[in-house]
Amino acid sequence: MDHKYDLLIIGGGPVGLFAAYFAGMRNANVAIIESLPQLGGQAAALFPEKIVYDVGGIPAIKAKDLIKQQQQQLSLFPPKIFLQTSAQDIQQDEDGDYTVTTDQGVLHARAIIVAIGTGAFSPRRLAFAYDPQLESAGYLNYFVQDLESYRDQDVVVAGGGDSAIDWALALEPIAHQVTIVHRRDQFRGLESSVSKLEQSTIQIKTPFLITQADQAVGKIQLDLKRVKTNEHEILTTDKLLVNYGFTADSRVLRKWGLTLSGPKIKVDTKMATNRPKIYAIGDAITYPGKLDLLAVGYAEAPIAVTTALQTIYPDKIQPVHSTSLFEH
Ligand SMILES: Cc1cc2nc3c(=O)[nH]c(=O)nc-3n(C[C@H](O)[C@H](O)[C@H](O)COP(=O)(O)OP(=O)(O)OC[C@H]3O[C@@H](n4cnc5c(N)ncnc54)[C@H](O)[C@@H]3O)c2cc1C
């Protein structure tokens, strides 16, 4: 992690991704750090199935497909991506550049773009204490890293939203048996996904809550409580995949010495914060007239990147639009 990047983008949401792409077009050496094991911020974590209608040039697109396309776009100028890495501290070095301390080590950069949205996402966990070995040994997961590791396994998916239903449906042809456990009778997913679920071979257990999870000779044993009763059932399975949504934590921001207005970072018209060479964009910021929309964040990204590069490379000619990149 000793390399010094031109730009370190904190936050791999849609706005951070576009900033990385734009910086790549400008030949900058870029890294992104993202607290989750996936990119895409709110769009990927909170509303993957929702159709977005208000991005210029795209009449209608599912949020998850928009993120897929952003990742495709980003692959033209691939930045270094650190997933499951949370920025914790930002210190200015003697030479004016920055060292960012993360929970995985330190990173160095000439300038920083903060694109942390509403804060670092983490999955909402099971609400009871369990042996951490369940996670380290792969019996209990909050994300699917590799669908193949579920092949021919019995899998319990916990949760009732789009993400839980989508994963249950994706696992159905691969796993031996999929069971979905939800604490309400009604699922919160899209009607079309719920219909698919009902027509599938997936076992539906509602209204049940998982109240205990224990290791059981190569398996995980779950205690399921029927909601509003004292009725319990034991379910033993190979893997448990929990999809209870996400929480966002922006408390770390208060340690970064940035001028805030409430939970948001104040920036000027060049996306500059009060600290030299630290810029901020997207839902993390505020200024008069700010809107928390993708289109607005996408517009702030090139402003921040251009300001940052003008500051760290003042002698470099700054192209006005993308085609000028290919003319020089
Ligand atoms: C339900 C819902 C529907 C929406 N629908 C629309 C819509 O139709 N159209 C529209 O334009 N907008 C919509 N929005 C708003 C849109 O999602 C946001 O404007 C957009 O996601 C902002 O992007 P961002 O990259 O600034 O932040 P985010 O999407 O919040 O991404 C920030 C990322 O930074 C990461 N992060 C935070 N802190 C750290 C840290 N310390 N270290 C490392 N990583 C960190 C987070 O994990 C997250 O992945 C919707 C929002 C919601 C909640």
79-103: per-residue pLDDT in tens? Answer: 999 999 999 999 999 999 999 999 9
**How confident is the model at residue 323, as a pLDDT?**
55
* Dist. CA 285–CA 118, nearest whole Å: 9
**C-alpha 297 to ligand 1 mean position (Å):** 10
Percentage, residues of the chain above pLDDT 90: 84
**How confident is the model at residue 246, as a pLDDT?**
87
Q: How many helices (H) and strands (E) does the chain have?
A: 8, 22
Q: Is 41 in the pocket of ligand 1 (CB under 6 A)?
A: yes
CA distances 43 to 199, 227, 313, Å, are 28, 31, 33
Q: Is 294 in the pocket of ligand 1 (CB under 6 A)?
A: yes
* Dist. CA 68–CA 175, nearest whole Å: 25
Backbone dihedral angles phi then psi of residue 313, each to the nearest 5 degrees:
-125, 70
**C-alpha 313 to ligand 1 mean position (Å):** 30
**C-alpha 48 to ligand 1 mean position (Å):** 12
Ranges 138-142, 284-288, 298-302, 313-317: which has the least confidence: 313-317
**How confident is the model at residue 276, as a pLDDT?**
98
Q: Is 265 in the pocket of ligand 1 (CB under 6 A)?
A: no
Question: Prior bond to 207 cis, omega within 30?
Answer: yes
Burial (CB count within 10 angstroms: exposed 0-12, middle 13-18, buried 19+), residue 97 = middle
pLDDT of residue 165 exceeding 90, the answer is yes
238-286: per-residue pLDDT in tens? Answer: 999 999 988 888 889 999 999 999 999 999 999 999 999 999 999 999 9
What is the gyration radius of the CA atoms in the chain, in angstroms?
22
Q: CB 6: neighbour CB atoms within 10 A?
A: 19
**C-alpha 118 to ligand 1 mean position (Å):** 7
Protein residue with least CA distance to atom 1, ligand 1:
47
* Dist. CA 167–CA 162, nearest whole Å: 8
pLDDT of residue 145 exceeding 90, the answer is no
pLDDT of residue 32 exceeding 90, the answer is yes
Instruction: Ligand 1, residue 115: give the atom nearest the CA.
Output: 26
Q: Is 87 in the pocket of ligand 1 (CB under 6 A)?
A: yes
Q: Which domains does the chain have, with CATH numbers?
A: 4-121+247-327 (3.50.50.60), 125-244 (3.50.50.60)
**C-alpha 299 to ligand 1 mean position (Å):** 15
